[in-house]
Structure 1
Amino acid sequence: MRVLVVAEHASRRYGGEAALPMQYYEHLRRRGISAWLLTHARVRPEFEGSDIADHVIYVEELHIHSLLWKVGRRLPSRIDYLTTNYLSRLLTQAIQRRQTRRLVKELAINVIHQPMPVSPKEPSLLYDLGAPVVIGPLNGGMHFPPAFKSHDSIFTRALLRGMRWLSNGLNALVPGKLEAALILVANERTRRALPLGHSPRVKTMVENGVDLRLWRPRAPDAAPPPEHTRYVFMGRLVDVKRVDLLLKAFAQACQQQPMSLLVIGDGPLLPELKRQADMLGILAPDGEKVSGVHFAGWMSQVEAADRLQTQDCLVLPSIRECGGAVVLEAMASSLPVIAVRWGGPADYLDDSCGVLIAPDGPAYLTQEMTHALVKLARDPARRRALGARGRAKVEQEFDWEKKIDAILPIYAQAEADGMMAEEEPHPQHL
C-alpha cells in the first residue's frame, strides 16, 4: 500500500484540524507503511530535521497566498474563513491537484487521503487523479445554539447562508466529493450536511483521536496538592470560545472557593480578555501560585501536555465546537472537563467523566459554569473519579492507534474498488 496524504496544513503548532493530517502521516510511517504528505510550505519548519521529513512534499507560498492572508487578518475570523481563507485553500488545492497527478505516477500511489478541510460543504479538487480518493472524516453542519443564534452579525449570517446555498453548485463544478471512493463523516449531522449528489459510499468514523504517548494520565502528586483548585482553558482566543463568559464565572466562583485559571492559547481577543480580567480584579501574574487568571500564551503540544499534568480540570465554554480535540486531550490526561452540551464535546463527554452545561444563553451559561467551578473545587475525590473514567474512555474509543487500525482496511477497500473500476469495460466498449 502506498498512501499520499493531502492537506493544506499538517501541523501540531497550528492545532485544530491541521493536526489530523500530521497524525495520519506520522502513524502510517511508524507502521512501516509507504506514505507521503503533500502540504503547504508554511509548515516546513516543523518537519526540518525530523526522521519523517524525507516523504514530505510542499506547495510553495505564492504572492497571492500572502496577499489573501494580509487581507483576511483584518476581517472577523468567521468572515475570513468564508472569504479570503476559502480562496487561499482552493488555490492550494488547485496546485496540489497538479502535483498529485504527477506523484501518483512517479510514486505508484494507490490511495489518496484528504483529511481536511473537515467542512462537509467545501468542495474538493482531488478527483480524476489516477488513484482512489478517501475524504475525511468530515465534521460540520453545525449552527449556533438557538439561544446564541444572534452571535454572528447579520452580514455573517447572510454570507453563511449564501455559501451553503452555493455549495451544491460548487460541488457539481468541482466534483471531488461526488466522485470520491469513500467519504468519512464523524456523525449523522455531518452526513446530512453533505452536498447533493455526493458519493454514495459514506462511512462513519470519529474525527479526532489522542496520541496516548503524548497525553499521559496524571501521576500521583509527589508533593501535597495546592490549597486552590487549578482550572485550565486551552484553545484559540476567538469569540466562539466564549472565554469572556468563563472569566465572569471565574470571578464569581473564586469568591466562594480558592481557585486559579490558566489560559493556554493565543488569538485576536487576547488583549481584550486581559483587560476584562483586570477590570474584574482577577488578573494574576502567575495562575499556578496566585488565586487568579494567568494568560500563558501559545504552547506547543508537548508543552501543553506537560502543563496539563499540573492542572485539576479543563473548562471549555465554546458554543460552536465541531470537534473539540482539547476535550479528548484533557480526558487522556485524567482531567475532568466542564463544557457546553453542543457539538463535539457533547459527543465525547457524559456525566461519568465531565460536566455538560446546556447552551441556554450567556447568563445561564455563566451561572451554571460558576456553580460547576465551585462544586468541583469542593470535591477533589469527584474530580479524580471523573478524570480516571475519562482516561479509560479515551483509551477505549479515541486512541490514535485504533484510528489507524480502522483506516487501513478503508484504504485497502478503496484500492480494491479502484482496481475493479479500472477493469470494468466502459459502456462504449460493450
Structure 2
Amino acid sequence: MTARPRILAIAEAANPEWVSVPLVGWSLASALREVADVHIVTQIRNRDAILRAGLVEGRDFTAIDSEAFAKPMWKLAEALRMGEGKGWTIVQAVNALSYPYFERLVWQRFGAAIERGDYDIVHRITPLSPTSASSIAAKCTRAGVPFILGPLNGGVPWPEGYDAIRRAEKEFLAPLRSAYKLLPGRTATLRHASAILAGSRYTASEIPDRFQHKTLWLPENGIDPARFNRRATPAPGPLRAAFVGRLVPYKGPDVLLDAAAPLLRDGRMTLDLIGDGPMMPALRAQAETLPGVTFHGWKPHEAVQDILCRAHLFAFPSIREFGGGVVLEAMALGVPPLIVDYAGPGELVDETTGITTPIGPREQITRDFTRELTRLAADPSQLAPLAENASAKAQSHFLWSRKAVQVARTYDWVLSGSPQPKPDLFA
C-alpha cells in the first residue's frame, strides 16, 4: 500500500505505566502509530496514564467506561485467586466473562464508523488470552472490514511433575484449560479473523488446522530502547550471573541457588537476585552460607538495567513463561541467557544467542545448570560471541519499532485482497 492504513486498535489493556499485558498492549498499539494512522480504544482505567504519555483523547485514543461490569468482576477474580500474582487462569476465566461487555460498548461507539468504512482494519491487540472471543469479528466481516486478532498467547501446560508448584500458584483451573476451546464464539472469532497473530509457537499450534493458513507467529514481547538502552560491560574476574523475576517456585530462584552453590562457595562466581516475592525469607536462609549472593529486592527498570549490565550471564531456570520478556531485555543489553527450553524463553533463545537446558524434574534442571555454570565459570570470555549475537537479534527483530513493521506486513497482506503466501514477518 502507498497510503498509511487507518487502524482501529482495540487494546482493552494498554497502559505505559504498568507491566505485563497492559504494557504489551500499550507498547504495540503506540508503536503501530509509526506505520499506520491508529486510533487506540482502551478501558477507562488506562486513560490518565495515556494522557500523561502525551496522547490526545478523542483524536488519538478513546477510553471506554466498562467499569459497571469490569469492576465487580475484577473484585471477584481477586477474591478467587487468593493471593497477589497467583491464580492467573482464574483471572483469565473471569476476564473471558467480563470482556464481552467492553466489546459491546466499543461497537456502540465505533460500529457506525466501521460500517461507514472509516477504518481499513480493526485490530484487536488485547486481551492476549486466546480464551476471549470477539463479537466484533463477525460484525467487521459483515461490514467488509478486515479484522486482525492478536498476538494471542497463553495456556502453556504445566510441565509434568510440577503439580505441587501449580497448586501453590493457585492454578486450580489449569488442568481444565483446554475447555476454553469449547467456549461460545471462539471458532466464530477465528473464522472471521482475516489474520491471527500467535504470540508463541505453542499458541499457534493450538489454532485449528483450518485456520493455520492465516496464522502468523509474532512473539508477544518486545524491547523499548528507552527503557533498555545500554550494553553490558562485565568486569574481568569470576563469572557474574543475574536473575530477574518474581521470587516464586516456578521461576526457580531456589534451583539457581542450589545449582550455583559449589561455584559460589569457592569464589568462581557471584549471583545477583533482582526481584521480590513470597520466597524471599526462605531464599535468604538458603543463601546464608553462600558467599557472593546479593538480594536486590524489587528495582525500577533503570536500576535493573544497571545491575544486569555488570553481569556476564542471565541465569533463569523458570519452568513456565508465556512470553519471556525479561529474557529479551537481557539479550538487548548483551547479557546472554541460560534458560530452560520450554515455552516462551525456549522460542527466543538458540545456540547463537544463549544456552538452553531441557525441561525436566527439578533435580535434572539443577544438575544441568551446575554443569553449564561450571563450564562458563572456567572461562567467562566464551560468552562474548553469544552476547554480541543476542544484542544484535534483539535489535533486528524485537524492538517495538521492528514489531510495528512486522505487523504492517500483515496489514499489507490482508489489504492486498489477493491469495498469496503468508508474509515472512522476520524478513
Q: Fold conserved (TM > 0.5)?
A: yes
Which residue in the other structure is 2:300 paired with? 299
Q: For 2:50 and 2:306, how far apart are their aligned partners in 1?
A: 22
Which residue in the other structure is 1:82 paired with? 89
Q: CA deviation at 1:324?
A: 0.8
Q: For 1:77 and 1:195, how far apart are their aligned partners in 2?
A: 31
SS at match of 1:218: coil
Q: CA deviation at 1:356?
A: 0.9
Q: Which amino acid in 2 is paired with 1:204? A: W
SS at match of 2:173: helix
Which string of whole-angstrom CA distances, capped at 9 and with x for unpartnered residues, describes residues 282-304 of structure 1? 68xxxxxx82131321424x443
Q: For 1:232 and 1:155, how far apart are their aligned partners in 2?
A: 24
CA 1:352–1:103 in 2, change beyond 3 Å: closer, same or farther? same
Which residue in the other structure is 2:316 paired with? 316
**RMSD of Structure 2 on Structure 1 (CA):** 3.3
Q: Tell me if structure 2 keeps the 8 A contact 1:341–1:356.
A: yes
CA 1:240–1:177 in 2, change beyond 3 Å: closer, same or farther? farther
Q: For 1:157 and 1:384, how far apart are their aligned partners in 2?
A: 39
Which residue in the other structure is 1:201 paired with? 214
Which residue in the other structure is 1:35 paired with? 38
Which residue in the other structure is 1:422 paired with? none
Count of aligned pairs: 402
Which residue in the other structure is 1:358 paired with? 358
Q: Which amino acid in 2 is paired with 1:17? A: V
Identity of aligned residues (%): 24
Matches within 5 A, 1:192-341: 192-194=205-207, 201-212=214-225, 214-218=227-231, 220=233, 225=235, 227-266=237-276, 270-281=277-288, 291-300=292-301, 302-341=302-341
CA 1:237–1:6 in 2, change beyond 3 Å: closer, same or farther? farther
Q: For 1:397 and 1:121, how far apart are their aligned partners in 2?
A: 27
Normalised TM-score (structure 2): 0.81
CA 1:212–1:276 in 2, change beyond 3 Å: closer, same or farther? closer
Q: Tell me if structure 2 keeps the 8 A contact 1:40–1:92.
A: no
Q: Which amino acid in 2 is paired with 1:373? A: L
Does residue 41 of structure 2 align to residue 2 of structure 1?
no
Q: CA deviation at 1:151?
A: 4.3
Unaligned runs of 5+ in 1: 284-289, 419-430
Q: CA deviation at 1:314?
A: 1.0
Which string of whole-angstrom CA distances, capped at 9 and with x for unpartnered residues, describes residues 17-65 of structure 1? 333222222212244x321222233334532422235423334444404
Q: CA deviation at 1:189?
A: 3.1
Matches within 5 A, 1:10-159: 10-31=14-35, 33-54=36-57, 55-60=60-65, 61-62=67-68, 63-75=71-83, 80-106=87-113, 108-127=118-137, 128-129=139-140, 130=143, 131-140=145-154, 142-148=156-162, 151-153=165-167, 159=173
Q: CA deviation at 1:179?
A: 1.7
Q: Tell me if structure 2 keeps the 8 A contact 1:231–1:262.
A: yes
Q: Which amino acid in 2 is paired with 1:28? A: L
Q: Tell me if structure 2 keeps the 8 A contact 1:247–1:277.
A: no
Q: For 2:112 and 2:284, how far apart are their aligned partners in 1?
A: 57
Q: Tell me if structure 2 keeps the 8 A contact 1:353–1:386.
A: yes
CA 1:369–1:141 in 2, change beyond 3 Å: closer, same or farther? same
Normalised TM-score (structure 1): 0.80
Of stretches 383-392 and 92-101 in structure 1, the one that deviates more from structure 2 is 92-101
Q: Which amino acid in 2 is paired with 1:37? A: I
Which string of whole-angstrom CA distances, capped at 9 and with x for unpartnered residues, describes residues 357-405 of structure 1? 1122101111222332343233231122221121122233333333222
CA 1:371–1:162 in 2, change beyond 3 Å: closer, same or farther? closer
Q: Which amino acid in 2 is paired with 1:238? A: V
Unaligned runs of 5+ in 2: 419-427
Q: For 2:379 and 2:41, how far apart are their aligned partners in 1?
A: 48
